[in-house]
Amino acid sequence: MLGKETHKIFEQLVLVSQLGLTMVGCIGLGFAIGYYLDKWLGLRGIFLTLFILLGIVGGGFTVYRQIRELEAQNSDGSAEDDAP
C-alpha cells in the first residue's frame, strides 16, 4: 500500500504528464495539418507556421482551462477534506 504523500505525488505527476501531452498533441496536430496543406498546395511553410502557432495557442488555452477546472475542484473539495 502506498502512503498518502506518495499517492499525492503520483497524482501530481499524472497531472503534469496530462498537461504536457495536451500541449504536444495540439502542436503536433497543428504541425501535421500545416505540413500536409503546404505539401498539397505547393507552398513553402506558410500553413506550417500558421498551424503550429495555432496549435501553441490552442494547447495553451486548453491547458489553462484544465488547470482552472482543477483549481475549482480543489477549492470545492478542500472544505470537505478539512472536515473531521
* 67 occurs within a structural domain: yes
* 51 occurs within a structural domain: yes
Q: For residues 76 and 59, which has the higher predicted lDDT (pLDDT)?
A: 59
How many domains are contained in the chain? 1
Supply angle C-alpha 69, 26, 20, rounded to 5.
Answer: 60
| Distance, CA of 39 to chain centre | 28
Cβ-contact 60, 20 below 8 angstroms: no
Cβ-contact 27, 48 below 8 angstroms: no
- 34: domain range? 21-74
* 83 occurs within a structural domain: no
Rounded to an integer, what distance in angstroms lies between the CA atom of residue 44 and that of residue 47? 8
Cβ-contact 67, 19 below 8 angstroms: yes
* pLDDT grade for 64, boundaries at 50, 70 and 90: very high
Q: Per residue in 68-83, pLDDT tens? A: 998 998 888 765 554 4
Q: Per residue in 13-58, pLDDT tens? A: 999 999 999 999 999 999 999 999 999 999 999 999 999 999 999 9
Return the residue matching grid coordinates 472536515. Answer: 83
* 8 occurs within a structural domain: no
* 35 occurs within a structural domain: yes
